[in-house]
Chains A and B, each alone.
Chain A
Amino acid sequence: MHRHVYLDHAATTPLDSRVREAMRPYEEEAFGNPSSFHTAGKRAKDAIDGARKRIADLLSARPDEILFTSGGTESDNLAILGFARAHREHGKHLITTTFEHQAVLEAMTHLEKSGKAGSGSAGKEGFEVTRVSVDAQGLVDPEEVRRALRSDTILVSVMAANNEIGTLQPIAEIGNLIRKERGTRAYPVFHTDACQAAGAINLNVEKLHVDLLTFNGPKIYGPKGIGALYVKRGLKLQPLQFGGAQERGIRPGTENVAGIIGLAAAFEIAQAEREAESARLLPLRDRLIAGILKHIPKTRLNGHPTKRLPNNVNISFMDLEGEALLLYLDAKGVYASTGSACTSASLDPSHVILALGMPYEVAHGSMRFTLGHATTEEDIDYVLEVLPPLVEKLRSISPVRVDEKYFA
């Protein structure tokens, strides 16, 4: 049997055994409902409070600024929809980028939709959205964000690291300029989705100058179904769900106690080990990038070569379609991901690769390899060994020849 090389850590990570150990008591004997007024409930409540404090410390925030949610998507939705709706009287302009995660983009689009008259559909929220474009390297220019600001802009959302191409955005710089533009006013506020970045960069909210910050468990070797939203003290959010006083009534529902404990443990480990793990992953990442670009002709690295997550490799293989390559790799035990339309339910290719100014065929041929804790040099060499003949085989049955300007 051949190797199994999981290179899809940006999709999700396995649960760290230390995290599982931390969670175990709260899945078994300490199962109480934190809202219950007895010892079992108090134990669960204390555990949540402890987790909230530990997470707040790592963010340089206060415990009451941390909200627990069901994951990155909910945190993003709550930040965008919850903030915009609570502050609509003060402005109806929102700013984001063209290559955000769908949890941000679709929330924004939802607010923007005017709603058809008489259709009774949701919408009619009447917000205006500016989507700042990114450069060919996948970086947001803070000046572009500044130029998009208007007197009625209430919210700006820019991701900390892109989920497909891993490019790291100048969050502190953007945050700083927004704070300066804001002056003594209350708007605009700044949100960042840091799900992909949480294991790689310092998430000190003071230094990043962010007012809202999303991160979650399943990208940092924590459990699935848990996320957090940092909400700067004093910022009002309109809830998305109703029926309880948990999380200050902004996110009601009985707490996912074990998940919260797991998130705190995973986040602590991720932040404590991020420098050492980054130092270990960087040469592996660069070995894979260099190996592919050198040994496989007609390939292109998507995203800035160094301003990217230490575990992200995103390459377009010209003249072939990504799903086919993904399945050929799967048969060799290599698990990756593609920006091809064929694996998406919408049949649209990666909006991230298109945002870089690339044509459809380059997006269809894009493959993402994301490294993780278990990735070794042998794994990388195995990929470099099995990949070239698979690419060659698919190219031999392809009638398409992508224009040289996209890879030369």
Chain B
Amino acid sequence: MSYVQPSTPGTKGDVTTKNGTQSWFYTDTVKDHFFNPRNFMHEDANSDDYNAVGKVGSPACGDELRVWMKVGPETEKILDFRWKTFGCGSAIASTSMCSVMVTENGGMTLTEARGLKPQDIMERLGGLPSRKFHCSVLCDKALRDAINDYYRRAGQFDKMIVEATRVIDPVSKVTDHDIEEAVLEGATTVEAVQAKTKVGVGNPSVLPAVEELIRFYREKYFGAESK
């Protein structure tokens, strides 16, 4: 009998290949989108060909994402969706996947696109390591920003949705709602919430407010202050 330690792939939020023999930090689908990103904005592309843009993040927090969108005026369907990111493997793969999801099968309508959740993108990617979750949130936010921009340019101000939430960190565009979700997913410390949302990374002045909110949501959902 051999007691040689077998390799145990896929522990601790990492993911295994389809045949289960090798562990990597990302799934095969993430790898595919990371190494062969779809729909990124080409250097020579003309931004005038697009009728909406969105932006989120900054290089200071390690991720900056810009998106360009072409929306059919009658159908309100997303005909083209292009992006550029200063981001890690997860950011590149999630944005690439997001661009595929909003444009496939003739394109989502803006209403449908607004229903797209970071979890949907994660699911199509086959999962992301837990501390990379915020990367899929980023492209979702850029998409929403672009949808609002489309309505702004079209003069349909009534269709712009100013999220009924409060932006806590204007740099990472993290809202109180994001912090609520992070707490609900089990993040109960500033560090854990930061790992999920990137709030306050490169902008630490907002952290006291974040701490306050974490306490509030913990009390709201999990009862009195527990250690």
- Chain A residues with CB under 8 Å of chain B are 319-321, 323-324, 327-328, 331, 340-343, 345-349, 359-361, 364, 396-400, 402
Contacts and interface: CB of A to CB of B under 8 A. Distances in A.
B89 A327 contact: yes
B35 A331 contact: yes
Given A327-B89, A347-B201, A400 B64 contact: yes
Contacts of A345: 131, 195
A323 B89 CA distance: 7
A398 B85 contact: yes
B6 to A, nearest CB: 20
Given A319-B86, A324-B87, A360-B202, A346 B60 contact: no
Interface in B44-81: 59-66
Given A331-B35, A396-B43, A397-B40, A359 B88 contact: no
B62 A321 contact: yes
A327 B34 contact: yes
Contacts of A361: 59-60, 86
B37 A340 contact: no
Interface in B4-62: 25-26, 34-35, 37, 40-43, 59-62
A398 B62 contact: no
B191 A342 contact: no
Interface residues of B, number: 35
B194 interface: yes
B114 interface: no
A318 to B, nearest CB: 10
Nearest to B40: A397
Nearest to A120: B227
A226 B20 CA distance: 34
Contacts of A398: 84-86
B169 to A, nearest CB: 13
A396 B86 CA distance: 10
Given A323-B89, A341-B201, A346-B191, A399 B84 contact: yes
B84 A360 contact: no
- The 8 A-B pairs with the shortest beta carbon distances in the complex, nearest first, are A361-B59, A342-B88, A323-B88, A399-B84, A400-B86, A360-B60, A341-B62, A397-B40
A361 B58 CA distance: 9
A134 B201 CA distance: 23
A396 B88 CA distance: 14
B62 A397 contact: no
Contact of A321 (B35, B42, B88, B201): B88
B168 interface: no
A359 B62 contact: no
B64 A399 contact: yes
A359 B202 CA distance: 10
Contacts of B88: 321, 323-324, 340, 342-343
Contacts of B218: none
Given A321-B87, A331-B35, 5 more contacts: A319-B86, A341-B61, A342-B87, A347-B62, A398-B86
B136 to A, nearest CB: 14
